[in-house]
Amino acid sequence: MAAPSPVPRSYPTRPRMGAADVDAVEEATRILRSVDGEHGGGHCVDTVVGALPMADALLRVPASTGVAARMRRAVADLHNLAGWVCFDTGLHDDSLRQFHRALELAGADGDNALTADVRYRLGRVYLHHGATGRASAEFRLGTRAALACGSALAMAILHANQAWAQARMGAREETQTLLARAAEEFAMADPDEAPGWAAFFTTTDLLSLTGTVHTELAQTVDPRFADLAVSELSVAAKGYSANMVRSKAMCLISLSTALLVSGHAEHGTAVGHEAVDLCQRLDSVRTTARLLLLGKVVSRLRGRSDGLTARIDALRPATTHRRDRVRPGARTTP
């Protein structure tokens, strides 16, 4: 079921746009972002993408300088969310298109905080699709923007994700240097001074991402990193609130992988089943794709998977069920 749209579907009735119109777009984005995290991008992608024409139209409504600047940022963030939910539902080209529109609007006002956010998300898109070099480039650009806006928390997020890209390439020393830097920046960060988009990144998220990076190193550099990953991810998995379904699912997928790599087949498959349980609640192609990578590790158990391989394979069709979606106004081909 698609999420109901909280976004206005018509122009403001007043001759000028006011702060209340900006508030409405910001609140809509907040609500839809929450839906995305709890239920997956597929649950709200139609609503988010469908709201974009109206949101863009608001940029042409007369307004004071301050209100117009706020609206540009609000609309940029809605495009940013659209890029993220398109990414989560497997719409790669559409996600890139939306992220670049967000960068265009953020750049018009020199909004470094939002630029850092968009670059981080673009990096995640490329990392997911195996373009680690391009992902690293986006994370570096995001780091520059985070530095420009003076946010230690944003810097920590970008450096931790840059470590993930380096780990995937097997760059052990660079990965460890970036993780240490991220931990230092996180310790220095003042949450009250961080940009709104970075507020999600708590101790739990840092632990989960660090554990995920060590899981990568266990597969690309040295299996002994798996034990470190298990300790980090085990703690992180207990820290997610009930509405952070996708984040916890991703954490459990990494934990299951780390356990299997470290030789704990029974525990690893049990955690894998927990991850599948959560993935079944999500409408998220991205999460299912990560689960399929776990399936490759499980397949090496040779008959000791306790039905986990079959459960993962049963989710495989979900990775293609949204390929026929297109952005509003796009042409389709037979």
**pLDDT value at position 191?**
82
SS3 of residue 62 by DSSP:
coil
Q: Where are the domains of the chain?
A: 23-110
Please give the average pLDDT of every successive group of 10 residues along the chain, which has 334 residues. 55 75 95 96 96 94 96 97 97 97 96 97 97 97 96 97 98 98 96 87 97 98 98 98 96 98 96 97 95 94 83 72 40 26
The pTM (predicted TM-score) of the whole model is: 0.90
Residue 320: predicted pLDDT: 42
Length of the chain: 334
Quickly list DSSP for 168-192. Answer: HTT-HHHHHHHHHHHHHHHHH--GG
* pLDDT for res 13: 56
Tokens of 119: 């670059």
Contact yes or no for 204/236 (Cβ under 8 A): yes
The two tokens of residue 176 are 């460890």
Structure tokens at 208: 């989960």
In the structure, how many helices (H) and strands (E) does the chain have? Answer: 14, 0
Contact 34, 243 (CB under 8 A): yes
At residue 31's C-alpha, the angle toward residues 103 and 328, to 5°, is 55
